[in-house]
Chain A
């Protein structure tokens, strides 16, 4: 960017022809480097000329989170701690590092997935309604979510009650054999880098007070899926004795599927036809491919067009990036200070380490299999 400025390729005159620069992730590898990068960029470009791209924001389903929440009147009354028990966000990759071992050794799943993609759709799910669908209104609301995140404990032992890390060993994914992370090219045989993370977060604001947000991102899981699952609270009083157990164990779930099979599914309970009051969960599904007869376009198509049109709504602002690094830094620093002694701690093709299951079980909950 500095060289672009020196070469006179940046036009900062707002009335002349526009110059916009798209910057691909990773934007820094911690708070300090992100701040330094922002300083360098702002030495040459105005913020409104800077387009920090996160291709997840170009996905139709991610954008649809806003439409779903703010173009439908029926969800907003339910979208808060009164009705939501907890939220699960999953970014699962079936693939391993696939020849990117050298890169992944420097990043790990938290830097590669959570700080950017995952926090972006997490913010869209949790934020307050923006006053308008325009860049700064939306980005202001996302920033408020990041600022409201309850800071994680600094002590590694305490941190482990909120954040679990994992690394895959050899196994099989969807029927195919898979080598372990430490056997990948470019990966140290005693690597301490995480390929799995699960965390329990809280947003300390009026809407989400006391609602746990469980996030997990990982490689070499049973299948590729990215989704947000809103788990609603149980009914307050069970009136169907034959279904009481099921209704106590299971709840309504609204799942926003970001990829693949982009769409939205609502799990609710229905009476099974017959003389008894048997109850079974049934899914009601909306799929982009089925409803609109076409698959959504590639994320980058939309984002590149938006940049050319000067619309930064689906790009991240400098202060957002810094706020997310500020939160992530504490995890990275604690992990850098303590070696993971149990790696690899999950088999490729399974849903992760048992410590991640325990993270939810301690709260009387369990991960859903998305």
Chain B
């Protein structure tokens, strides 16, 4: 390992390496990095890995993916494998290119870091990316994959990768079509051992907690809910609102989804005997769920969100306010790699949300 390459590695820069020499190059770089510098005391360097994290990034979201990895790496030591692909002519078979780099966590006297490998393929070489990934996964560490866009088609090469993956992290806040909720539900059903985690679902977790808390004093009210209204502050995918409805319906045992005619910006369904609505209001706070109202026998339980705080109006209870927190994409991915990424309730909520968006 030359001094130049070592310096690049220690700065966290990407270094191009031959595809077949990734492990050897990384091993050599880590070994050199751990050697004491002239005149310095030996310093321990830990090469850490708790997860294999595969990040698939096509042309337009490659930079966003790299930024996300930088943020995640501060909290989770993972071997990150970035799959960067661009469409190209299938009859041109260019070799896959590979870069390695270190994501460092320097804390006082302790230095640790983890590997990042970027693979670039175009055209026919894209089909070979899964085989390259398979060769790079760290044994005994679980594997997750951050996936952008619709689920891979049944015949797509990336579908092969799902066989290696324990946890698939998606973000339905950013999908182009809400129908992808149904696609992800189907994917989960077809692969029962695959944990599908949705950043949108993790984002509404605080709201779910507040909602449940409103009924701690008298949970029996929940059996008499007649109407639910979710106010969505965003245009495009309403996945957070849909998952919130899915959560309520699955937890409270409402079954049988019937779509009703929409009124303006309000979409309506009947789930069991309960009238459910999602109203889009873009003049308020820009949140997936800006408000939640539950109604029973003329009484209302309301959660409304402003930019800085959340107000909780439970029937027969004083108004409560609490600060609202923003979650970055990196926060949500870090959360999804923890215990909350393994949530059986999500499957049930997604199943109902999938029914809500069914044509």
Give me the interface of A with B, judged by CB distance under 8 Å: 94, 171-177, 222-223, 242, 245-246, 253, 255, 260-261, 265, 267, 272, 274, 276-278, 280-283, 289-290, 349-351, 368-370
Contact = CB atoms under 8 A, between A and B. Distances in A.
B140 A283 contact: yes
A272 B75 CA distance: 12
B135 A282 contact: no
Contacts of B98: 175
Given A176-B19, A242-B339, A349 B50 contact: no
Contacts of B49: 283
A94 B139 contact: no
25 contacts: A94-B135, A172-B130, A172-B132, A173-B131, A174-B132, A175-B19, A175-B128, A176-B20, A176-B95, A222-B131, A223-B135, A246-B342, A261-B27, A272-B338, A276-B338, A276-B339, A277-B339, A281-B142, A282-B50, A283-B139, A349-B135, A350-B134, A351-B134, A369-B134, A370-B139
B351 to A, nearest CB: 19
Contact of B131 (A174, A274, A282): A174
B119 A175 contact: yes
B353 to A, nearest CB: 23
Contact of B20 (A171, A174, A349, A369): A174
A337 to B, nearest CB: 34
B141 interface: yes
Nearest to A277: B339
Contacts of A272: 338-339
A370 B23 CA distance: 14
Nearest to A224: B135
A255 B139 contact: yes
B31 interface: yes
Interface of B: 19-20, 23, 27, 31, 49-50, 93, 95-96, 98, 119, 121, 125, 127-132, 134-135, 137, 139-142, 164, 338-339, 342
Contact of A289 (B31, B125, B338): B31
Nearest to B52: A369
A99 to B, nearest CB: 18
B141 A176 contact: no
Nearest to B125: A175
Nearest to B30: A290
Contact of B338 (A94, A174, A278, A283): A278
Contacts of B19: 174-176
B31 A172 contact: no
B135 A174 contact: yes
A175 B50 contact: no
B135 A283 contact: no
Contact of A175 (B129, B140, B141): B129
Given A171-B131, A176-B19, A265 B140 contact: yes
A274 B129 CA distance: 35
Nearest to B344: A245
Q: What 4 pairs between A and B have smallest CB-CB spacing?
A: A175-B132, A278-B339, A349-B131, A174-B135
A145 B20 CA distance: 38
A333 B215 CA distance: 71
A294 to B, nearest CB: 11
Contacts of B127: 172
A241 to B, nearest CB: 11
